[in-house]
Amino acid sequence: MPEPDYERELERLVRQLDRMALRVVGRDRSIVLNEGVEAFFKFQEDLFDFQIEVQRHLASLKATTRRSAQARKDAARFRQIRWNARRLGDALAWDHFNKDKQHIAALSHNDLMPIPSTKEDDGVRGTWLAARACAGPDWGIPLLHDITSCLRVGDITFLNVDRKTRKLVHHTVEVKSHRTATEPINDKTENITLQVTLITNEPMPEGLGEVKAAPAIQTRPRWQTDQRFRRQMQRMDAAVQHRKAKLNSINQIGDTTHLTLTRVGEDKHHWAELRRAIRNARKDGTSFFSVDGYAGYIVAYNPEGVTPSDFQRNFPKEALTDELHVEGHERNSMLLQTVPLTDEDASFASEVLPFYMYDIPKRAVSELLSGKLAIVSFLNIARVADALETLGYEIIPDPASGKADGRSFWTRATLNWPEGSFAIETPAPWRQMLISMHEFLGVSSVIAPAAATLDLPARIRFEDFQSSYEQFGSRHPAA
């Protein structure tokens, strides 16, 4: 029996995702402002339906991927479409939270939940019913977490304006559904009755009126005694604590201690250089640019779809050497990433700006989705080590390996208060490096947290740091 040909279906899905994406890219991307709240809600429903459709294709391919190379190839393409669809949901989330990384990160501390293969599930039904029922002037504009990859705590976040301060406020809720009755209509249809409960660990929005107790039901909802529900509420509590963590202080969140600092300096995205490189790639096939001599980007364009040979044909070896290589440096080592982010398992994915929000033309976003445009980023770790040393850090071997490996190092610095000093040792800023590669940031953004750490004596009292310094990778007081 011949294998099914998914080529047309794959192409159709890419075109459909592209049409949806074009409604939310660009500087005037807000569906709420441009089309209204109802259109925003409908867009979320359409995106969720799209993700479910892709998931069904993956489920149908699962049985054949072990024995068919073509099925494995098709499955990889479906997974990429699924991931791009989730990142479109992330773009809505980043816009919903006005790019507030602290708030988004607070709701990301959980495993990525799988996309269901059907909407015929009481939990899914209840969540969407609750969002639509509560949308309005009291609760605000709902964003469903199911369509995103970055929002992993809670089910819905409502966006509203505080009636007193006139500032934007967000309210995250967990939704629980319990079927209380089922009435068969015929062999294929039934009426169901759901009790839908919204659970929040913050004050309820004003204007809801009197809150009445739910009527008694014959069976106790399983979620009320479920250990999973307890863990969900613990994550909700931690999310609120992360979001409200006091800056430039030590905060207790759950069972752990966190040091929360404001960064030194502002992030500068190199969008103008990227736009110029895209234009040049359309003319010449490939183009190259570098940022701070720290990271380099190869942009390739092929109207038939970029392949590895497009990069190999005009690989800028001399430019990479001239602009990124540090002559004689023991830590010359290249980190490589494809841009935009393609790995849904990447631990830092929720912290990366979705590529739909890049400051590039809509046409370029479409070309990234269709594979006509591709970007590869290179980063020289030696440049990061040099920048950290310039700040005042000492570069030391990774204590786990004890070897002077250029790709793996730690840093050491001494913090001096009038009352005493501490030596702190921390790993290389890998997370910041990876994020910078996907957001076209310079080395100053990578070392900004390290710069803020050196400023600790001006921000935090000695006795406060002394009581909890072991939480932050410190090894011993300074001599």
Query: What is 89-124 written as a DSSP string?
Result: HHHHHHHHTTT-HHHHHHT--SPPPPPPS-S-SHHH
Element (H, E) at 169: strand 168-184
Percent of the chain with pLDDT over 90: 48
Distance from chain centroid for Cα 90: 7
Q: Which residue has the higher pLDDT, 269 or 61?
A: 269
Are 333 and 380 in contact, with CB atoms under 8 Å apart?
yes
Q: Enter the pTM of the model.
A: 0.89
Mean residue pLDDT across the chain: 86
- Asked whether 301 and 399 are in contact (CB, 8 A), the reply is no
Q: How confident is the model at residue 223 (pLDDT cuts 50, 70, 90)?
A: low
Identify any residues that bridge with 414 across adjacent strands, giving them in sequence order: 423
**Vertex 125: Cα angle to 94 and 159 (nearest 5):** 30
pLDDT score, position 218:
44
Neighbours of 17 (CB within 10 A): 22
Rounded to an integer, the average pLDDT of 100-124 is 88
Q: How many CA atoms lie within 13 A of 291 on its CB side?
A: 28
The lowest-confidence range among 112-121, 291-300, 444-453 is 112-121
Cα–Cα–Cα angle for 113, 23, 343, rounded to 5 degrees: 35
C-alpha span between 268 and 61 (Å, rounded): 43
Q: Is the pLDDT of residue 50 over 90?
A: yes
